[in-house]
Amino acid sequence: MRFTGIAIMFMCFIIFVACTKEEKTPEPSESEPAEETSGEAGENENAGNEMENIEQVATNLEAPWAIEKHDGNLYVSERPGAIVTITKSGQTRKHVEFERDLSQQPEAGLLGIVFPKDFSSRKIAYAYYSYEQDGTYYQRVIELEEREEAWHEVSTILDRIPGGQVHQGGRIKKGPDEKLYVTTGDASVPENAQDLENLAGKILRINTDGSVPEDNPFQDSYIYSYGHRNPQGMAWDEAGSLYATEHGSNAHDEINLIKPGENYGWPLIQGDETEGEMVTPLAHSGEETWAPSGMTNLHGSFFFATLSGQSLKRFNPKNETISTVLSDFGRIRDVYADDGGLYFITNNTDGRGSPSEEDDQLIFLKLPTNQLHESQ
């Protein structure tokens, strides 16, 4: 394992530095190099080598994308089309039998997964994947059934979400209201994000039977919020408020508080820019590039994975600051909160990272009690 130079940060202080020149090659956002300087957000937590707080849970994952946990077992989706189950006795990979051919576009494939409460009895989970049909790219939300030898796509909940060369979105979560929430990217067409007749560049809210919730903000529409470029992380606070991470253009990656019916501005504004009633982010990366992905809430702090930023970061919603919790594992795709700490997956085997012999990995980071309740 690559434990040399692990930075696990436990004391917080805030560093504000001046903005530097903009990133020159913003596409695709997941592969942008991270700048050394930070714009609005650039806090680091001091650390030393705390190897006793790190546990390697699984190794040799193949371009993993999402972490879920159910009934004591961990599940990791892999973009090439498999789900790995991690138990106390080891890890097992089962391929997924899809109705459509998986898209081979960058950032596409099997992406988000989520498990309902009755998964143990029904063996039905929800997933989001990218596919190709007659030379056109789409995403769909489906039900998957776990069988003895493989997972099988058994029904479609929502289909023909626009896909593109990049910006597929991909996160799927069950909200406190038991609805499905899905993030979609702009599918490489920025104008999609402002079009309320187009499902790209949005956060969607869906009943599990595929119908539109009656209390959605737009009548007969799955759209919950719009004006998004490429959101890839969602998490709720204890009061039920939804937060999301989003890839910006020319850096300016975002943390947003998501409210129904609101317009988050892409491609018309970014960073601190304002226009009309469009919503500006709670925090953004300034001229630094994070390429943020999965996010989780642990006792009032939001932790999020970064790809180009190659770190696990903490967002404190009370003072709207960002700090770095851990680095030196390369690209990090998703993070999942559990009692006592955080599970996270590296993302070094997707062609954009520098994998070690054991990559990609699922790792558990134990946090001390005083850090678990930092933001309260």
Structure tokens at 133: 């049909």
- List the pLDDT tens digit at each of the 376 positions of the chain: 443 443 333 333 333 333 333 333 334 456 544 333 333 444 455 344 356 799 999 999 999 999 999 999 999 999 999 999 999 999 999 999 999 999 999 999 999 999 999 999 999 999 999 999 999 999 999 999 999 999 999 999 999 999 999 999 999 999 999 999 999 999 999 999 999 999 999 999 999 999 999 999 999 999 999 999 999 999 999 999 999 999 999 899 999 999 999 999 999 999 999 999 999 999 999 999 999 999 999 999 999 999 999 999 999 999 999 999 999 999 999 999 998 899 999 999 999 999 999 999 999 999 876 565 555 5
Asked whether the beta carbons of 186 and 193 are under 8 A apart, the reply is yes
CA dihedral 63, 65, 70, 73 (to 10 degrees): 20
Which contacts of 355-359 are long-range, i.e. CB under 8 A and separated by 24 or more positions? 355/330, 356/1, 356/2, 356/330, 358/1, 358/2, 358/56, 358/59, 358/60, 359/59, 359/60, 359/61, 359/330
Rounded distance, CA 163 to CA 101, Å? 14
Burial degree of 267 (CB within 10 A; 0-12, 13-18, 19+) = middle
Q: Which residue has the tokens 């937590």?
A: 45
Task: Please state the pTM of the whole predicted model.
Answer: 0.88
Beta bridge partners of 51: none
Evaluate the CA torsion angle 51, 42, 190, 33 in order and state its sign.
negative
Which contacts of 11-17 are long-range, i.e. CB under 8 A and separated by 24 or more positions? 11/45, 11/46, 12/43, 12/45, 12/323, 12/374, 13/43, 13/44, 13/45, 13/46, 14/43, 14/321, 15/42, 15/43, 15/44, 16/40, 16/42, 17/42
Asked whether the beta carbons of 137 and 164 are under 8 A apart, the reply is yes
Q: Which residue has the tokens 């919603």?
A: 317
